[in-house]
Structure formats: structure tokens, C-alpha cells
Amino acid sequence: MNMERKESLGVRALRAFDSPGLRLELKESGFLLVSWAKGKASFQVVVRSQLRPSTIPLLPIIKGNKVVITEYVTPGLAERLTQLGWNYLDGFGNVWLKAPGLHILVQGKKPTYKSRSAVQSAFAPQSLFTTLAILVRGNALNQRNLAAETGRSLGSTNRTCKALEELGYLNEDGGIERKATLVERWVESYLAVDWPEQRFISDRWTGADDVLNAQFEVLAPDPDRDGLRFGGELAAARLDDSLRPVTALLYCPTQDVKNLIKYGRLRSDPNGWIHVRSPLWKPPLVPYLQDLIVPLPLIYADLLALQDPRTTTTAHNLRKQWAK
């Protein structure tokens, strides 16, 4: 998030909260200073334009007093934030600030605006296919190529690119601006979707390590067609051998699922440790992907979705390497 946006949201949050006897100041150092007659407290500030319970793992790890400022904190989000030790302020006056000598709670304030159409167009579930392809390729390219690489219509691709440009994530030449922020927004939106999947157990593989070492090339012998790819823990384990995978997330084209079931001797199980999903891309994008793994933003998101300290730590370590 750029500084102008960060300052705007922070100022609106402070204006929305008005309490006699308290003074709230946002410091350039990135701290919120709260002063009252008998004391003061400071909180390290994190600003997120949109925040959901599923995206709390995206927040940085901070020791000591910390506060997140966001557009709107729902009751469910407020409960989860306080459970994890986060204070919060939003743009409508909802507040939770707790420190020695300080206890502020304001709830029940509701938003009075509608989301901008550009945000809806850029980060709607179907737009995430296009934005992911842009992140993989490094720029918007020709929109017909983007449509072919994602399976989206040309009209849908055009709307997504225009929205990303309006929001400042693409320049007039189609190049990416503020990449790290765009990745963050993409991950937040991806985690808010309940993506369909099938779950299995296997009579061939006893654990995720067995899946990691399987010979999946036999499933898609045609080099012009996309084959199966590792996501989540499996993909992370190929990039960072310090992670021992427990679950197996596989992105498999629909036409290859039957072969996968046969090859892995899979049996459907609602609690199975093998997860199978459809790819978010089409074969024309495959030459730009790393061998056998899904795009890096998707690895990051799927690791966070597990809400496991092991995978969250690995996700943040991977992000430091590529989201620059």
C-alpha cells in the first residue's frame, strides 16, 4: 500500500474515533501514540485496506503493542484479531486498544459506502486468474494472449486490466507497478474464496513425501498440454527442503484427474490428506511456470490458508525471496 493511501486510511480511522480525554497521533515512525491524563502508550501500526479472518496470517509478526488499521472490522474479524493479540481501528469508529492503564472498546459501527467498481473488477474471483497470469509473466502483455493463458473471455480480461490500471497496479504500457502490494491484494482475495476441490486418501502413497517423489510425467505425456503441478506444502518443499509436507495439494487438469486417481490408487474421503484442484491457468502459460510447481503467489496463499505455524513461517520466508 502506498504512503498516500496509508496516511488517508489512518487519518480517517482517527477521525472516526472521538473520545474526550484521549489523544491519538500517527507518528512518521510507524507508531500510534495514545495519550491520556495519567499515561500514554504506543502501538506499532500495520495498515491493510481490506482484512478478513482468513488473511490475518498475512500480517507481519510483531512483538509488543501492535494495531492494525483497516477499512472495516466485522464482529467476526474483531474476535479473531483480539484472540491473536491484535488491537484495531477502522474507518468507521470501531476500536480495540489495550495496554497497561488503557482499555478502549467501541463496537457496532457499520460502513456506509459501497466498494468501488474497480476493486470489484480487479479482485473478483474470476479476475484472479488474469491477475495471476500478469504476475507470472511480469506485465499485462497482449490481452488476447492473457485470455488464452487463463481461459477467460477477452471482455473479462479487458475489464480486469482496466481496473488494475485504474488502481495503479498497471501502468499505461502494461507494466506492473507496486508488485509487492499487488501480490498482497491478490493473496487476500484468493484466500476469501472457497475454491472447489476433491479430497482423497491413497492405497499407494502413505504420506506427502511419497507424492513428492512420484513419477507424475506419466499422467500427461503430451508436452503441449499442461500436466499436474504441486501446490502448498509440496511446492514449498521443492523450494525449501526444511519443510516436511503433511498434506498434498495437487493442481490437476480436469482431463487428467481420472488418470491421477488410477495412478495413485486414490479413494474419495472428505477428510483426506490429498487435495485436488483445477488449475487457474491454461497450457499457453505453462512455459512460464517453474517445473512441477504452481506460481509462487499461489504457493504463498495456499501455505497461509493452512493456518499452521509451520507453513505460515515457510510462507513468509518464501515471500521475502520473491515479492520485491
Domain boundary among 106, 135, 155: 106
CB 42: neighbour CB atoms within 10 A?
A: 17
Instruction: Domain of residue 24: give its range.
Output: 3-106
Q: Judge contact between 304 and 311, C-beta under 8 A.
A: yes
**Residue 200: its pLDDT value, please?**
96
179 shares its domain with 237: no
Say which residues have a Cβ less than 8 Å from residue 100's Cβ, sequence separation at least 6: 39, 41
pLDDT in tens, the chain (324 residues): 333 344 467 888 888 887 778 889 888 888 999 999 889 999 999 998 778 887 888 889 898 999 999 888 888 889 999 999 999 999 888 999 999 999 999 998 876 544 456 566 778 888 899 899 888 887 766 888 888 888 888 888 888 888 888 878 887 777 888 888 888 888 888 888 889 999 999 999 999 999 988 877 656 555 445 678 899 999 999 888 888 999 999 998 888 889 899 999 999 999 999 999 998 888 777 777 777 888 889 999 999 888 888 888 888 888 776 655
Same structural domain, 71 and 180:
no
In-domain check, residue 111: no
Q: Is residue 227 part of a domain?
A: yes
Select from 209, 221, 227, 324 the least CA-distant residue to 283.
Answer: 227
Same domain? For 76 and 165 the reply is no
The residue among 143, 162, 191 that closes a domain is 191
Asked whether residue 210 falls in the same domain as residue 299, the answer is: yes
The domain that contains 129 carries what CATH number?
Answer: 1.10.10
Q: Which residues contact 308 (CB under 8 A, 6 or more apart)?
A: none
Do both 158 and 87 map to the same domain?
no
For residues 180 and 141, state if they share a domain.
yes
102 and 171 assigned to the same domain: no
For 176, the grid coordinates are 506492473
Q: Are residues 239 and 313 located together in one domain of the fold?
A: yes
pTM (2 decimals)?
0.67
Task: Answer with the one of 133, 163, 191 that is the final residue of a domain.
Answer: 191
Note the pLDDT of residue 202: 95
Q: In the chain, how many domains are there? A: 3
